[in-house]
Each structure stands twice: as structure tokens, then as C-alpha cells.
């Protein structure tokens, strides 16, 4: 029989972390608005209580060993519990969101999606704005840690390529993971601090600078204004561009200056592809806006570069309604929704390395047509890819587009128009946030979407954030058989 005690034990610690995080907006509210502290106090007590119950009732050993099936359950369960308990401040707070809206907002936050049902953000309580940013910040660092410690062992979509290997005993692998995790947490916090200071110097208030620093680095996209970054000046927008670029890059690469005394991040092929793709789309849209719309070259470049970085890094900020830029821009942004950032980043989406593998496989196939007896090798960053990794990537890509098709069809069934259903499905799976059209486009919110569609989108966010199979495998009968 499957032993779920380690799963519940570790899930308890997730709730304790969430309860501790709730103390931050609680303290801010007591110092400013004094309108939300009761909701956060209740949510923190509920999260802490259930966390302690799970830990006390399921504690067997200090360091429980996770087998593969338990790792699947921990990964999905942690994000689901964080969304459920993270929704409590939205439900009990002064905004009085419905249960579905509260869950949608929390799921959007913890999965770093950035889709919101809240309007009037400019006058919303400070504690709520800070909690939304904190959820994204925690979800961002959480997915980085998961992509290093858990997802590689699950062999999903080629993630085993990034597994921590050791020729010695398992304890050394654990030690290596612990060191990298600590380093990433340090770099993540340091980058957040630097971004917050820079945004404050650009003219943002302390709350706005902290919220946007956390949201930019986590590639979440929650803003403190209904106009998103369009509410702020050029300086703040360019600083957030840097934050989004960093958030979409492989975080382990940022440890190299401290580990090897040299900066080798540009040696990573995934980073090079990431930057080249962004530059290519930014250039195309700059020329389109400059020639087809009545804007200066600088404004065309600023708006294009910002929104391209925002979509490819799966952040979801916007500075203008790019849905109104014309047909070419709409198709370009829809295509960008299927890209995503780098592996080991806070970004969602398919991920750049999978496209590298696909292009390598296609190249080998073409060469074999020309040289049937030839021997060809597929590699990534100088590492030879095994057939298992290639099959895993191909299987992930097929599953991703199959899930996109099913989710788009389901959204159409519950009443969304074609543009909203298709772009909403792509946005949810890639954890981007805004879609296209008048209903869920960058100039709108998800407030008017039916509850059934919100539930489907929230499920899509969770599935997309956790690499599809991590969640979907729990619905398999085979998974639950010994």
C-alpha cells in the first residue's frame, strides 16, 4: 500500500511557511489600513494549525525518503494546498471575493500566472496587494527548487537531463542539492532586494517597488495598478524588463561567479536561444509598430521590447493594449505563448531547451535522409542526449498540445468565445496571465468569466506549472496500484 505519511508530513511544512508569510501583510495592514488584519490572522492560524496537525500526525523520521510516486503527490499537493489556504485572505478580506474567485486568484498567484479577477487595484488594500506579490514570489522560488530537487527524478519531459548526479553515495547528491538550493535562495532574495531598491529610485512607492520586484523576478505579473506597468514611467518599465529577463533565465547559472570565479552564463545554449528569440520578436514588432502605427521609434521599441519580454518570460505585465496593435501582433503574441523561459527559471511554458531538442531531432532526421548509413549524435550544451530524454521531450510536447486542445474545447463548451477560449487555454498552461480579446485581453480581467471557466483555467494553471504529467498521472489507475 502506498505510504502517504511522508507526503502529508512535508505538506505540513508548506502550510507553516505559508502561515509565516501571511504575517508580513498582516503586519503591514496593522501599520496602515487596519482593514485586512483579521482575515490574515485567521488564515495564518488556520494554515499553521493544519500544518502542525499534518506534521505531528505523520512524523515517522526526521528526513523521510520520497519514492517516485510520493514525489508526484508532494509536488502536486504542495501547490494545491498553497492555493487553497492562500485563498483565505481573499475570501475573508474586505474584497469579499467568492470562493471560486478566491481560489482562482490564489492559484494564479502561487503558479506565477498573473491572471486576476480583482479590479480597482489602484485603491485596493495594501495587505492584499502585498499578499498577491508574496504568493508569486513563493511560487517562483518554489518551482526553481522543485525543478532541481523533484522534477528531474520524475523524468518528465526530459527534465532528467538536469538531475544532480554523483558517482558516490546518495548522501552526496542530497548535499549537492542542498547547497544549490541554498545558493539559489540567496541569489533570489538578493536580486529581489536590488530590484526593489532600483524601482524605488525610479519613483515607485515602497509598497509598489517591493510588489513589482517580487512579481517581476517570479515572472508572475501581478501589479498594483489596473494599468499594470503602463501606470509607471519608462525607468520603472526598463528595470522590470531586466527583472523579467533574469526571472526567465536558468538560476543555477547565476551561481557560477561565486563557484568558478568567472561569469559563464552566456556559454549556456539555452540562454543564447532565449535572448535571440526575444530580440527577434522585439525587432519585428518594433518595425511593425513604427511603420503601421502613429508612434515614434523609441515608443515602438519600448512597448514592443517590454511586452515581448513579458510574454516570453511568461510574466504577463503590459504597458499598452497590444491586442489592438493589429493582426500581425496578435498572431505574434499568440505564438510567443508557446515558448516560455529556460529550465530552472521561474518562467512557465514549454521551455527553450525542449525546442532545442526538437530542432536537433529534426536536423538529425534530415541528415539521415541524405546519409542513411550515417551515425548522428544529438547533444545539449555538449552533453549527449539519451534516447530516453529525447522520447521524454517528444512525449511532453505531444501531451502539451493535446492538453491545450482539450482545455480550449472545454472553455468553449462553458461559454467563452473562440478567441478567449484558445488564448485563455494557451495562457493558463504557459502561466502567462492575460489572453487576447475583449474578455481576457491585457485591457481586461477574468472577473466576468463564468465560474466553470475559472475552475478549468485554475486547473490548467496548476497542470502547466507542474509540467503536465506531474498532475495528470494522479488520475491514472496504474499510479495507485502497488
The separation between the first and the last C-alpha atoms of the chain, rounded to the nearest angstrom, is 6
Q: Is 315 annotated as a binding residue?
A: yes
Buried b (16+ CB within 10 A) or exposed e, 8-21: bbbbbebbbbbbeb
> Which are the contacts of 224, defined by CB distance < 8 A and separation ≥ 6?
121, 122, 124, 129, 207, 208, 211, 212
Nearest to 475 by CA among 452, 459, 461: 459
List C-alpha distances in Å: 217 to 73, 224, 386, 389. 27, 15, 33, 29
- Our measurement of the distance from residue 70's CA atom to the centroid of its chain's CA atoms, rounded to an integer in Å, reads 23
Give the bridge partners for 384, in sequence order. Answer: 379
And the C-alpha cell for 350? 514549454
Q: Is 431 annotated as a binding residue?
A: yes
Alpha carbons 94 and 40: distance in angstroms, whole number:
11
Are 207 and 33 in contact, with CB atoms under 8 Å apart? no
Alpha carbons 454 and 460: distance in angstroms, whole number:
10
SS3 353: helix
Q: Is 220 annotated as a binding residue?
A: yes
SS3 449: coil
Are 382 and 393 in contact, with CB atoms under 8 Å apart? no
Residues belonging to the binding site are 112-113, 220, 314-315, 431
Q: Which residues participate in the annotated binding site for K(+)?
A: 112-113, 220, 314-315, 431
Amino acid at each position: 500500500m502506498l505510504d502517504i505519511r511522508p507526503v502529508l508530513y512535508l505538506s505540513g511544512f508548506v502550510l507553516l511557511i505559508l502561515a509565516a508569510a501571511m504575517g508580513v501583510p498582516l503586519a503591514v495592514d496593522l501599520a496602515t489600513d487596519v482593514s485586512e488584519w483579521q482575515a490574515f490572522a485567521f488564515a495564518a492560524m488556520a494554515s499553521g494549525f493544519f500544518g502542525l496537525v499534518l506534521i505531528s500526525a505523520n512524523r515517522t523520521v526526521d528526513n523521510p525518503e520520497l519514492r517516485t510516486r510520493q514525489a508526484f503527490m508532494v509536488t502536486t499537493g504542495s501547490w494545491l494546498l498553497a492555493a487553497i489556504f492562500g485563498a483565505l485572505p481573499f475570501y475573508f478580506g474586505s474584497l469579499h471575493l467568492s470562493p471560486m474567485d478566491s481560489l482562482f486568484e490564489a492559484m494564479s498567484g502561487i503558479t506565477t500566472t498573473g491572471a486576476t479577477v480583482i479590479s480597482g487595484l489602484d485603491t485596493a488594500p495594501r495587505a492584499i496587494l502585498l499578499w498577491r506579490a508574496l504568493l508569486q514570489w513563493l511560487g517562483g522560488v518554489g518551482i526553481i527548487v522543485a525543478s532541481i530537487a523533484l522534477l528531474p527524478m520524475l523524468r518528465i519531459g526530459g527534465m532528467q537531463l538536469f538531475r544532480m548526479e554523483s558517482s558516490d553515495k546518495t548522501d552526496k547528491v542530497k548535499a549537492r542539492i542542498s547547497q544549490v538550493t541554498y545558493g539559489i535562495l540567496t541569489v533570489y532574495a538578493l536580486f529581489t532586494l536590488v530590484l526593489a531598491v532600483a524601482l524605488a529610485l525610479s519613483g515607485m512607492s515602497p509598497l509598489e517597488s517591493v510588489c513589482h520586484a517580487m512579481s517581476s523576478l517570479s515572472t508572475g505579473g501581478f501589479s498594483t495598478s489596473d494599468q499594470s506597468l503602463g501606470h509607471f514611467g519608462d525607468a520603472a518599465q526598463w528595470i522590470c524588463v531586466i527583472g523579467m529577463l533574469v526571472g526567465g533565465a536558468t538560476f543555477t547559472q547565476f551561481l557560477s561567479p561565486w563557484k568558478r570565479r568567472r561569469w559563464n552564463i552566456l556559454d549556456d545554449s539555452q540562454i543564447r536561444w532565449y535572448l535571440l528569440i526575444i530580440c527577434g520578436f522585439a525587432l519585428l514588432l518594433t518595425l511593425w509598430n513604427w511603420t503601421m502605427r502613429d508612434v515614434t521609434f523609441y515608443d515602438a521599441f519600448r512597448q514592443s521590447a517590454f511586452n515581448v519580454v513579458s510574454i516570453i518570460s511568461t510574466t504577463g505585465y503590459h504597458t499598452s493594449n497590444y491586442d489592438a496593435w493589429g493582426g500581425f501582433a496578435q498572431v505574434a503574441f499568440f505564438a510567443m505563448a508557446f515558448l516560455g523561459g529556460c529550465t530552472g527559471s521561474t518562467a512557465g511554458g514549454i521551455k527553450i531547451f525542449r525546442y532545442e531538442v526538437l530542432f536537433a531531432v529534426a536536423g538529425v532526421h534530415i541528415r539521415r535522409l541524405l546519409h542513411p548509413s550515417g551515425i548522428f549524435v544529438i547533444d545539449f550544451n555538449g552533453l549527449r542526449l539519451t534516447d530516453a530524454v529525447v522520447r521524454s521531450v517528444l512525449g511532453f510536447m505531444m501531451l502539451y498540445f493535446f492538453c491545450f486542445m482539450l482545455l480550449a474545447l472545454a472553455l468553449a463548451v462553458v461559454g467563452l468565445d473562440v478567441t478567449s477560449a484558445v488564448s485563455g487555454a494557451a495562457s493558463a498552461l504557459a502561466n502567462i496571465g492575460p489572453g487576447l480579446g475583449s474578455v481576457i485581453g491585457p485591457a481586461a480581467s477574468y472577473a466576468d468569466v463564468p465560474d466553470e471557466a475559472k475552475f478549468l483555467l485554475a486547473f490548467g494553471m496548476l497542470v502547466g506549472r507542474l509540467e503536465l504529467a506531474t498532475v495528470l498521472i494522479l488520475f491514472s489507475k496504474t499510479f495507485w496500484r502497488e
